[in-house]
Structure 1
Amino acid sequence: MVDYGNAQLVETRALAEATSKNRAVLDMTELFDHAVTDEAARFARVLAGNFSGSFSLDAGRTVDVGGKPAPVLKIGDTPINMDFTIPDRFTAQTDATATVFVASGEDFIRISTSVKKENGERAVGTLLDRSHAGYKALLAGQPYIGFAQLFGHQYMTQYNPIKDTEGNVIAVLYVGINISHRRAFGIGAKVGVLAFGVVATVFGLFILTLGSAMTSLAVALHAAPAQQMAQQMAQLQTRYAGFALIAVLAAVGMLYLVLQRMVTQPLQHAMIAAQQLAKGDLTTQVHVGRRDEIGMLMQA
């Protein structure tokens, strides 16, 4: 016999399943964050290892850096200002960006960097914004690691303060890992995630609705005769079999529309552009706004 216990069990299982799926998505996000954080910390050690000797600040001398006077920072006896050798070599080896900031009062000025502005110029002479999440920590001599938006790209960054023998912060070493492309799913992953989302949503709604119906039915059946109970159970099975069929058809329809938008239409645009180019129309332009496999095909 259907009773409250069975109905509540169905609802409990449905809620547990939904919670489990949400937790899985959160776990994937946390795993990505931990992995890229560890990578940034490792790159920070690599960058620091490229500097042999002790840092020192010659506050009595200034050098023009990107139109701004900046104190001279040295490694050993060698000035670092406007010397891009180490940042460029680091970027070539790791594909991560590197910057050396020098302390000037309560500001940090980029005096050597492989970070580029949107126009392709080096970001030398620019300041670490005082509203930056890591500014206060660095001023207090503490490292900072976290996400940052720099010149149109998203980075996982680590900033490590450099102190003199008296414990004063005289410089900051920065590394940044461009994660903009890493967070762009491939087409297969996008379809997979969307398919999972559609199916999970439909299934979850079906289970929760069924659980609610089972609860209502349990109340009614406690006072119903056996024959009436059998009839109502049969009606319930038929009704929800039909609901399940409609839900499956709706899911298939949604996936079809998604695939049309994500795959079929972009491929048709790429095919038309390729045909026009093949006919000698070199004025054809293909606008690419995606980073997955189809985006790479359209760029080609």
Structure 2
Amino acid sequence: MNLKQAFVGILTTGCLIGAAVLLPSVGQAQDAKVKMAMELLQSMAGKIGPPKTEGIDTVAGKQVPAIYFGSTKMNNHFDLVDEVVKQAGGTATIFVKSGDEYVRVATNVKKDDGSRAVGTILDPKGKAIASIQKNEPFYGEVDILGKPYITGYEPIRDQSKNVIGIYYVGYLK
């Protein structure tokens, strides 16, 4: 009986050590995936053209600035975010700065009813907005519309270096 208990103890210890070694690499893989998706989103947006805001547009019944990459308006235009998700998985969003809020104007994040979450705002009390307000990116876990995501948020700057929006990518945890 003692030999059997010793074997089970050694096996259990081995499993715990194995889990401790593997779990950080799962987190690192997720972080690498988020960074790769963010680079893809920014690269694809850059190929369309430089970011700018111009005029006002209606998104989900809200009046918000129209955000462009080059001459392509992003408000209610989903090709960019959908192509990023097609290539990298997860979710992607373009936010526009509207006063003190950041509004989703192009997204494939879904609401509970399955519709795109356009017109919803970045959590004003969340971790991501605190970084963006300091002109810094944010990478980490956040709650989006009640669900946990591993995410990346990077400021979108116009040619004068003003923050006019946010690039977002994320994966449901």
TM-score norm. by structure 1 comes to: 0.50
2: CA distance, partners of 1:24 / 1:146:
24
Runs of 4+ with >6 A deviation: none
Q: Please, which of 74, 78, 102 is the counterpart of residue 80 of structure 1?
A: 74
Q: Please, which of 145, 155, 159 is the counterpart of residue 161 of structure 1?
A: 155
Alignment RMSD: 2.0
Contact 1:118/1:152 (CA < 8 Å) preserved in 2? no
Q: Please, which of 112, 117, 123 is the counterpart of residue 118 of structure 1?
A: 112
- DSSP 3-state at the match of 1:126: coil
Q: Please, which of 134, 140, 150 is the counterpart of residue 146 of structure 1?
A: 140
Contact 1:100/1:171 (CA < 8 Å) preserved in 2? yes
Is there any run of 5+ residues in structure 1 with no aligned partner, and where? 1-13, 180-300
Higher-RCO chain (CA-CA 8 Å, sequence separation at least 6): 2
How many angstroms does 1:24 deviate by? 4.3
Task: Give the equivalent residue in structure 1 for 2:6.
Answer: none
Q: Please, which of 44, 49, 54 is the counterpart of residue 50 of structure 1?
A: 44
Question: C-alpha deviations, 1:234-253, integer Å up to 9, x for none?
Answer: xxxxxxxxxxxxxxxxxxxx
Question: C-alpha deviations, 1:259-284, integer Å up to 9, x for none?
Answer: xxxxxxxxxxxxxxxxxxxxxxxxxx
2: CA distance, partners of 1:105 / 1:79:
19
Question: C-alpha deviations, 1:272-300, integer Å up to 9, x for none?
Answer: xxxxxxxxxxxxxxxxxxxxxxxxxxxxx
1: CA distance, partners of 2:20 / 2:166:
33
1: CA distance, partners of 2:160 / 2:64:
21
Contact 1:106/1:139 (CA < 8 Å) preserved in 2? no
Q: In the TM superposition, what are the counterparts of 1:1-300 in structure 2 within 5 Å?
A: 24-51=18-45, 52=47, 53-58=49-54, 61-179=55-173
Is there any run of 5+ residues in structure 2 with no aligned partner, and where? 1-8
2: CA distance, partners of 1:81 / 1:91:
18
- Code of the residue aligned with 1:138 in structure 2: it is I
Query: Between Structure 1 and Structure 2, which shows a larger proportion of helix residues?
Result: 1
- DSSP 3-state at the match of 1:91: helix
How many angstroms does 1:26 deviate by? 3.2
Contact 2:51/2:159 (CA < 8 Å) preserved in 1? no
How many angstroms does 1:21 deviate by? 6.4
2: CA distance, partners of 1:93 / 1:34:
20
How many angstroms does 1:41 deviate by? 0.0
How many angstroms does 1:142 deviate by? 0.6
> Highest Rg: 1 or 2?
1
2: CA distance, partners of 1:151 / 1:96:
15
Query: Between Structure 1 and Structure 2, which shows a larger proportion of strand residues?
Result: 2
Question: C-alpha deviations, 1:168-226, integer Å up to 9, x for none?
Answer: 211111011223xxxxxxxxxxxxxxxxxxxxxxxxxxxxxxxxxxxxxxxxxxxxxxx
